[in-house]
Amino acid sequence: MVHWKKRLNIGWILIIVLILAAACEEKNPVEQVHQEKEEAPPEVVKIGFSMDTLEEERWVRDRDLFKKAVEDLGAEVDIMEARGNDALQVLQAETLINQGIDVLVIVPYNAEAAAAIVQKAHRAGIKVVSYDRLVKNADIDLYVSFDNERVGELQAKAIKERVPEGKYVYIGGADTDYNAHLMKKGVFSVLNSSIDNGEIQVVYDQWTDNWLPENAYINMKEALKANHNHIDAVIAANDATAGMALKALEEVGLEGKIPIAGQDAELAAAQRIVQGTQTMTVYKPINTLAREAASLAIALAKNEYIDTDKKINNGKIEVPSVLLEPIAVNRDNLDRTIIADGFHTREDVYK
C-alpha cells in the first residue's frame, strides 16, 4: 500500500512539473501581441498620381522622375493620365481612390473641375497634393510647384530688355489652367508701367485652348494678320506654344528677327536658343519638384507635420504651399544651367 502511494505522489509531482514548464513557455498574450506588432513589416505608403497629359516632353519627365522619387523612398505609386479630359480625370481619380491609396497627387487638367476630385478623396479620408498646377475652390492639403508668377516676370523682363518699346503679342496657356493665369499676372506686372506710358502696346492677347500647340499657331497667325506682320516681340506661355509662334513667323520671313520667350526648357527650345530663333526659356528643375512632392506626399500619408512658409489663395482657402524658384535661361547661361544639371546633354542641344 505504501509503495503504491509513493508512486502516486511521484506521478502527481511529474504532472505539476510538466504544467509549470508549459506555463513558463507560454507567452503572455499581451507580450505576444506586442512582439507580433514589432515583427510585422511596416505598411507601404501607396500614392496615386493623376496627370492631365503626357503629350508634352516635360510631363513625361515629371512622371518618370516622380515615380523614381517615390520608389526610392520605399513607397508605391499608381499613375494615370487623363489625356486632357476633365471627366476622364475625375473617373480615373475615383479609380485610384477605390484602390486604397493613402495620398492623391494631382496635376489638374481643369483647375475648377478638379475640385470634385478633392471632395471625393477627402470623403474617403485621403489627403490631396496639387502638383505644379493649383486646384481652385477646394480644400487642398498641399500645393507643390514653382513660383509661376515669377516665371512670367522672368519672361517679361528678358523681352523688355531686348524690346523696351514696341508692339507685343502675348500667347497665353489654357484658360482652364490656373498656372496660366499666374504666369500672365507675372508678365503684366512687369509690362504694365510701360503699357501705361505708351512705350509698349500689347496688340494681341489670347489664351491657347487646351495648351494645344496648333491653337497657338492659329493665335500667332491671327496676330500677324491683324497687325500686317508689324510686331516687335512675342511672349508665349510655354516652349511648345513658342515653337508654333515661331513657325507662323517663319512663314512671313520673320524667323530670328522677333524676340520670343517661352518656358519649360524643352530640348527644342534649347536648340532654338542656340540657333538664335528663340530668345529665352524658363528652366524649372523638375527633378527637384518631383523629389520634393514625393517626399511631402509620403509625409502627409504618415500624418507628419509639414512646415510651409507660403500660402496661396485658391478661391476657397489659403493653401499651404511649397514654391520653388525658376531660372531664366538664355544663350549666355544655357551651359551652366540645363546642361550642367543634366536636364539635356550638350550634344543634343548643340547638334
The pLDDT tens digits for 153-178 are 999 999 999 999 999 999 999 998 99
- In this prediction, the residues of the chain whose per-residue pLDDT falls under 70 are 1-42
Which pLDDT score is estimated for 14?
A: 53
Would the CA dihedral through 144, 150, 154, 160 be positive or negative? positive
**CATH 3.40.50.2300 region(s) of the chain?**
46-140+285-324, 148-284+330-350
Which pLDDT score is estimated for 15?
A: 52
Exposed, middle or buried by CB within 10 Å (0-12, 13-18, 19+), for 5?
Answer: exposed
- Rounded Cα distance between 110 and 128, Å, is 16
Coil vs helix vs strand at 331: coil
**Residue 297 half-sphere exposure toward CB, CA atoms < 13 A:** 34
Q: What pTM does this model have?
A: 0.78
320 sits in which H/E element = strand 318-324
List, in order, residues 6 or more apart from 71 with CB less than 8 Å away: 77
List, in order, residues 6 or more apart from 169 with CB less than 8 Å away: 202, 203, 204, 205, 220, 223, 231, 233, 234, 235, 245
Which pLDDT score is estimated for 4?
A: 45
Residue 212 CB neighbour total at 10 angstroms:
16
Backbone angles phi, psi at 47, to 5 degrees: -115, 135
Residue 172 · residue 245 · CB < 8 Å = no
- Give the homologous superfamily in CATH for domain 46-140+285-324: Response regulator (3.40.50.2300)
Which pLDDT score is estimated for 17?
A: 47
Q: Report the amino acid identity of residue 70.
A: V
- Rounded Cα distance between 163 and 157, Å, is 10
Which pLDDT score is estimated for 35?
A: 52
Q: What is the largest CA-CA distance in the chain?
A: 130
CATH architecture type of domain 148-284+330-350: 3-Layer(aba) Sandwich (3.40)
- Rounded Cα distance between 258 and 121, Å, is 47
Nearest to 109 by CA among 130, 91, 82: 82
The grid cell for 309 is 512658409
- Rounded Cα distance between 82 and 91, Å, is 9
List, in order, residues 6 or more apart from 164 with CB less than 8 Å away: 194, 199, 200
Which pLDDT score is estimated for 2?
A: 44
Torsion angle (degrees, nearest 10) of CA 265, 211, 69, 148: 70
Backbone angles phi, psi at 33, to 5 degrees: -65, -45
Residue 62 · residue 290 · CB < 8 Å = yes
Which pLDDT score is estimated for 9?
A: 55
Which pLDDT score is estimated for 57?
A: 84
Residue 285 · residue 341 · CB < 8 Å = yes
Alpha-helix residue ranges (DSSP H) falling in the chain: 2-25, 29-39, 57-72, 86-98, 115-123, 148-162, 178-196, 213-226, 239-250, 267-275, 286-301, 346-350
Coil vs helix vs strand at 115: helix
Which pLDDT score is estimated for 70?
A: 97
Q: What is the DSSP letter of 209?
A: G
